[in-house]
Amino acid sequence: MGVYDEAEANDRDLHLAFMRKALEQGEEALAQSEVPVGCVFVYNGKIIGAGRNRTNETLNGTRHAELCAIDDILGNRTSNFSHVGSDLEGSNSFSESSPDDTILALYPPSMFEHCDLYVTVEPCIMCASALRQLRVRKVYFGCWNERFGGCGSVLNVHADPVGNDPPLQVEGGYCREEAILLLRRFYMKENSNAPNPKRKATRVLKTTDLDTSLTSRDDRTRISSTQVVDSFA
């Protein structure tokens, strides 16, 4: 493996490691009976904000993981995430700050231009627009959102030539199978709790038909028939 390939492999490992942190947020959402979508924002190699879907808890359809994480960064904390500023090993570069300090006290709003977002599901149209307006540097996501995705699945909010904001860089497929399984676990649970179980309640948790490699979006059609993504991404 050449030096270039090695660097690329290291980058991929790093992306996967941050995506696993996003999946932890998704697990927290699942534990609270929310559609399990989670995310983390990374600045300069450190996680500076995290979020998970909270639409049921708040009865507010805008409380998607990405917007909760943005609020987290802006100081309006909604998450229990206590490792703001932590790297993957947990060391905290902001440890000298008081708990009330926000990242914005240390960095200007333009810092989003230097942030990457790791989110388990392709951002929806609403979130894609918000992320583009904040000029987030790049979005890495897990699985595609066939019903509401704003980064290529339904609309191309990330790339359409509208407004003054530059295109949002996006790349999907990181931990895709884990992200899908998380959603499937939610819908299995939801169906089993329904007073009048629908036909799909008989669905079993499929773990065998997932491609384990990072794939292009052309491969997504094979999993979309399961309709695992409802909304809230």
Q: Which residues bind Zn ion (CB under 5 A)?
A: 64, 124, 127
Q: How far is CA 153 from the centre of its chain?
A: 15
Q: How far apart are CA 73 and CA 50, in angstroms?
A: 8
Phi and psi based region of residue 137 (left: phi greater than 0; alpha: psi -120 to 50; beta: remaining): alpha
Shortest Å distance, C-beta 124 to Zn ion: 3
Token digits for 51?
């979020």
Among all chains, which residue has been given the structure tokens 């030539």? 161
To the query of whether residue 66 is one of the catalytic residues in this protein, the response is yes
- Closest C-alpha to 141, from 13, 16, 28: 16
Contact in structure between 139 and 169 (CB atoms under 8 Å): yes
Q: Which is nearer to Zn ion, 46 or 64 (CB)?
A: 64
Looking at residue 36, its amino acid is P
Question: 96: Cβ–Cβ under 8 A, 6 or more apart, which residues?
Answer: none
Shortest Å distance, C-beta 63 to Zn ion: 9
3-state SS assignment for residue 38: strand
Contact in structure between 147 and 231 (CB atoms under 8 Å): yes
Residue from 28, 34, 66, 122 carrying the catalytic annotation: 66
Contact in structure between 122 and 172 (CB atoms under 8 Å): yes
Q: Which is nearer to Zn ion, 47 or 124 (CB)?
A: 124
Which active-site residues does the annotation give?
66
